[in-house]
Amino acid sequence: MRFKTVIGLEIHVQLSTKTKAFCNCSADVFELPPNTAVCPVCTGQPGALPIVNQTMIDYAIKLALALNCKVNEYSRFDRKNYFYPDLPKGYQISQYFYPLAIGGHLDIDVEGTTKRVRIRRLHLEEDAGKLLHEGDSITQARFSLVDMNRCGIPLVEIVTEPDLSSPKEARIFTEKLRSILRYLKISTGDMEKGALRCDANISVLDLEKGVSSNRVEVKNMNSFRFIEKALEYEEQRIINTLLKGENVEKETRGWDLSTKTTVSMRGKEEESDYRYFPEPDIPPILVNRERIEMLRASLPELPDQKKQRFVQMYGLPDYDAMVLTADETVADFFESCVRLTGKSKEVSNWIMTEMLREMKEFNDEQLRIKPEHIAELIKLVDVGEISIKTAKEIFPEMFKTGKMPSQIVQERGLKQLSDERAIMEIAKKIIEENPSVVNQYKAGKTNVLSFFVGQVMKQTRGTANPKLVNEVLRRLLEE
Ligand code: ADP
Ligand code: MG
Ligand code: ZN
């Protein structure tokens, strides 16, 4: 291995506060018509003064604590100056010199081993507006248009140390972060809607020559899959450049979905370009120990803790526990099912395979099934009313319609045939009709049993109890 990849992330999270960071405008603007959630403060009118949203600070502190950061009792806002039409004030209120929190870490699971990723800092800032460019596919705009609804929505920026060593790890990290955001209920973490935005810095170390490439910043990766894809592309592009003995430019590149490549956007700006200076209109943020400890005490059980508890309490393998606790709704669902059935591993199997697959397919839909459905399904299999195969077969319908499994079994006539006499009748007939196969069996070729089993299953449309079918057939053939 000649090359070693180094990745660090800068992630922006939109906080789901009711109002914006420094004014009383609604922060829930996703479905609002353009420029309807704006006021003199968030559009930067002369003389308007910001007032800090305290919920935003509490949310950010909770996240900092969940990421094991040190929360600073003193932090402050700064102005980051730049001109762009989506930023009416001409500067963004951010935190540069004194961030809210520093020095944390988040553990991620990479193919069964735990990897610690250090967090350098976590700070607050405000979002900018949105530009719709000429020819935009939705508005068919003839000019570039500015929507300021998003101006002033609170953001948390999380900067990691360059501890990630593959595109896959970058994706796992971001997914884990989203899981925590959702547990904390401080953000939707929705990448497609821009509530979670990930910029990645990537460089490649040439171990043979002992030198590192410049680092490239990659933007515009608006899904977890694209984080991995874009970084895989960029990693390879850097390696190819190094192999050609050429210089890797220090620049910002964007993921282009249509070509599945990264394209150069601009040379990398330097910090001094922003002329940061303290925000004069907002007093420092002072958070005392009591407030921090109160917020710490209010944290819910987080994914890692829940995972540990699932392993201990339910005797689940690490992997099951990790998958089940990634989403709190799924974790709660699991626990309710276990309460009803007392069968943790069986419940886990149903949820991890069938249920998560259906949930993925019907993304975002309200769950129609309840723990009672899984409990009944397990019971029907246990008492032999239906086979595992049938249970799997009816799962999608149960999931989509919310019908109880017993009802589906009845409607579709899938009740398992466990009547020994009925099976015997069918088996006898098949044996009579296939004397040559019977002779093979009697001559010692006992694996032809599966032929008979198959025939019985076919005649009973797969409902015959397989264990019973085997028993009956063996008995008849050995008579
Ligand atoms: P900048 O001043 O360009 O913003 P920072 O030092 O603030 O740079 O780091 C920004 C991000 O770049 C961080 O997430 C950090 O982990 C990452 N980073 C730093 N050095 C490297 C490197 N050699 N390769 C990849 N990423 C890096
Ligand atoms: Mg930076
Ligand atoms: Zn406003």
Q: Are strands 113-126 and 130-132 parallel, antiparallel or unpaired?
A: unpaired
Look at residue 135 and tell me whether its pLDDT is greater than 70.
yes
Q: What is this structure's pTM?
A: 0.89
- Residue 198 Cβ inside 6 Å of ligand 1? The answer reads no
The token pair that represents 49 in the structure block = 């003064």
Look at residue 362 and tell me whether its pLDDT is greater than 90.
no
CB 269 within 8 A of CB 199: no
Smallest CA-to-CA distance from 159 within 177, 172, 181 is with 177
Question: From the CB of residue 128, how many other CB atoms can be counted at a distance below 10 Å?
Answer: 21
3-state secondary structure of 131: strand
- Residue 215 Cβ inside 6 Å of ligand 1? The answer reads yes
Kindly report the protein residue whose alpha carbon is nearest to atom 19 of ligand 1.
162
- Residue 318 Cβ inside 6 Å of ligand 1? The answer reads no
- Ligand 1 atom nearest 212 alpha carbon: 23
Span from the CA of 236 to the centroid of ligand 1 (angstroms): 19
Look at residue 273 and tell me whether its pLDDT is greater than 90.
no
Q: Distance between CA 390 and CA 380 in Å, rounded?
A: 10
Residue 365 pLDDT grade (very low, low, confident, very high; cuts 50, 70, 90): low
Residue 115: which H helix or E strand, with range? strand 113-126
Kindly report the protein residue whose alpha carbon is nearest to atom 21 of ligand 1.
162
For the segment 265-271, the average pLDDT, to the nearest whole number, is 74
Residue 96: the pLDDT is 97
Residue 285: which H helix or E strand, with range? strand 285-286
Residue 272: the pLDDT is 72
Q: Distance between CA 450 and CA 439 in Å, rounded?
A: 15
Residue 361: the pLDDT is 84
When mean pLDDT is compared across 37-51, 111-125, 132-146, 429-443, the lowest value belongs to 132-146
For the segment 273-278, the average pLDDT, to the nearest whole number, is 93
- Residue 158 Cβ inside 6 Å of ligand 1? The answer reads no
Q: What is the dihedral of CA 255, 256, 261, 264, to 10 degrees?
A: -70
Nearest ligand atom owner, CA of 9:
1
Mean model confidence pLDDT for the chain: 94
Span from the CA of 13 to the centroid of ligand 3 (angstroms): 19
Residue 360 pLDDT grade (very low, low, confident, very high; cuts 50, 70, 90): confident
For the segment 91-104, the average pLDDT, to the nearest whole number, is 98
Nearest ligand atom owner, CA of 80:
2
> Cα dihedral sign for 303, 306, 312, 313?
negative
Q: Distance between CA 470 and CA 472 in Å, rounded?
A: 6
- Residue 8 Cβ inside 6 Å of ligand 1? The answer reads yes
